[in-house]
Amino acid sequence: MAKPQTVYFCQNCGNQSSKWLGKCPACGEWNTYQEEVISKSSDRKGGYQRPERSSRPVLIQDISLEKENRIDTRSAEFNRVLGGGLVAGSIVLIGGEPGIGKSTLLLQVALNMEGHRILYVTGEESRQQIKMRADRLGLNNPDCYILNETFSGEIFRHIDEVKPELIVIDSIQTLHTDTLESSAGSISQIRETAGELQRFAKSTLIPVVLIGHITKEGSLAGPKVLEHMVDTVLQFEGDRHYGFRILRSVKNRFGSTSELGIYEMQSGGLREVSNPSEILLSQRDEEVSGVAIAATIEGQRPMLVETQALVSPAAYGTPQRSSTGFDLRRMNMLLAVLEKRSGVRISAKDVFLNIAGGLRVDDPAIDLAVVASVLSSAEDAAIGNNVCFAAEVGLSGEIRAVSRIESRILEAEKLGFEKIFISGFNRKGIDLKSKKIEVIPVGKVRDLMNLLF
Ligand code: TYD
Ligand code: MG
């Protein structure tokens, strides 16, 4: 008998090596190499074999552009993130931490698509567990099949029988194929089973949604290779202790990656949040120091978020800096700008920053609100709760213009704000007369102090 062939895979990026390595030359991570048996068994009974088809080259001008065939998932947020529905034959990967609500989201989508035949394959939960969850969601799609199976050959056999219009795999890490000997969840198994599903989706035009777990570091477990194989990568994220969840598009071959969907986890499942600013506005009462509202744009939607800062004398020698929902390095940069350009003494103070609602915000327009909340806490003076901010802060303390300022101002006005601080560079082109809200241009961080307090 031939010696089983083994290969070492980086569990972080999927890089392959014939010997063990301490540091991955591809992604630079340490101690990520693991040995996997990859010898293929001689009789390939499992897996998916593409039907024999002859491919031929076609001249580019002869290719007709028909509108891609999209399936409406009956969920406005999910459709939006996908760029207008599921594309036939596409393969979508949804990543997220355990317990964030991936299974709930897809079961909800499956049960909502009444009239479509759906196969929900689960390797993680029993049929009873799924049924219990479906009852909790209060939804019922008579054409939704649940399959408890992890072996890919069996799954393809059932697909042939059921003939579904959409397949959900929960999760890709539980699948295995008998063409490989390594265990389920290993890099080679993930790559092989995902490859089978991808060939299946492309040749039958049935869309497949894969659920994937995320490692502690926040990247998709098992690997970057998976991200290259699929058409769309969605990330489901949020703080587990809060109800709000964001579905972000990280990669999309059929749409923009700037779209996102917002949900709230409730006892009866995930509720779609169509007006994101409600996350913030329900919780405002008295005026306290250290709070500032930012008019941000997430995806294509304007959204007002609350930033909270606490500046206090350092209890230990080295001041602590901590931030939730905002990049810590960016916060340190803003603090340095504040110290150097406006003379506020914060280098010996602890600074804590928090974005309310457990959301992570990428929009640079939140900078000015972060600076204002830190100033407000350092001075212990409240900023009125009818004030909001939208501008980026540069290294020399200049207040920089941000994109789509009109929609930010409109959203702030709609929500009853009376003042909005923006960059002086953003002012031209805005029709100020037609607005009830007072638009205040700021040039430098230093000026903000005088304008606020
Ligand atoms: P789940 O979909 O199992 O997460 P994942 O598949 O990403 O691991 O969701 C688990 C959490 O969602 C669990 O902590 C309970 C919560 N939940 C609700 O709050 N309401 C509900 O209606 C459901 C079905 C789940
Ligand atoms: Mg799950």
Tens of pLDDT along 4-49? Answer: 678 888 877 778 889 999 998 888 888 888 888 776 655 555 567 7
Ligand 2 centre distance from Cα of residue 407 (Å): 37
Ligand 1 and 222: CB distance under 6 A: no
Give residue for tokens 């009974």.
45
Protein residue with its CA nearest to atom 13 in ligand 1: 99
Question: Is it the case that residue 235 has pLDDT exceeding 70?
Answer: yes
| pLDDT at residue 45, rounded to an integer | 52
Least confident of 36-40, 159-163, 228-232, 311-315: 36-40
Ligand 1 centre distance from Cα of residue 213 (Å): 14
| pLDDT at residue 194, rounded to an integer | 92
Ligand 1 and 133: CB distance under 6 A: yes
**Is residue 58 very low, low, confident or very high in pLDDT (cuts 50, 70, 90)?**
confident
**For residue 198, what are the CA distances in angstroms to 119, 194, 228, 255, 389?**
16, 6, 11, 19, 45
Ligand 1 centre distance from Cα of residue 89 (Å): 28
Ligand 1 and 269: CB distance under 6 A: yes
Residue 170 Cα: closest atom of ligand 1: 6
Least confident of 4-18, 150-164, 288-302, 363-377: 4-18
| pLDDT at residue 336, rounded to an integer | 94
Protein residue with its CA nearest to atom 25 in ligand 1: 269
Work out the angle between the directed axes of helices 328-342 and 367-379 (0-180°, nearest 10). 60
Ligand 1 and 95: CB distance under 6 A: no
In the Cβ-directed half-sphere of 29, how many Cα atoms lie within 13 Å? Answer: 15
Question: Is it the case that residue 173 has pLDDT exceeding 70?
Answer: yes
**Is residue 281 very low, low, confident or very high in pLDDT (cuts 50, 70, 90)?**
low
Q: Tens digits of per-residue pLDDT, 236-279?
A: 988 777 788 889 888 999 888 878 888 999 998 999 988 777 76
| pLDDT at residue 350, rounded to an integer | 94
Ligand 2 centre distance from Cα of residue 27 (Å): 28
Ligand 1 and 132: CB distance under 6 A: no
Alpha helices in 116-254 (DSSP H): 127-137, 152-162, 187-204, 224-229
Ligand 1 centre distance from Cα of residue 266 (Å): 9
Pairing between β-strand 260-266 and β-strand 244-252 as defined by DSSP bridges: antiparallel
Ligand 2 centre distance from Cα of residue 230 (Å): 20
Residue 267 Cα: closest atom of ligand 1: 20
d(CA 285, CA 281): 9
pTM beyond 0.85, yes or no: no
Q: Tens digits of per-residue pLDDT, 410-424?
A: 889 888 889 999 999
Ligand 1 and 104: CB distance under 6 A: yes
Protein residue with its CA nearest to atom 10 in ligand 1: 99
The distance from CA 400 to its chain's CA centroid, rounded to whole angstroms, is 27
Mean pLDDT, rounded, for 418-436: 86
**Is residue 221 very low, low, confident or very high in pLDDT (cuts 50, 70, 90)?**
low
**Is residue 378 very low, low, confident or very high in pLDDT (cuts 50, 70, 90)?**
very high
In the Cβ-directed half-sphere of 284, how many Cα atoms lie within 13 Å? Answer: 23
Protein residue with its CA nearest to atom 16 in ligand 1: 101
Q: What are phi and psi of 106, to 5 degrees?
A: -75, -30
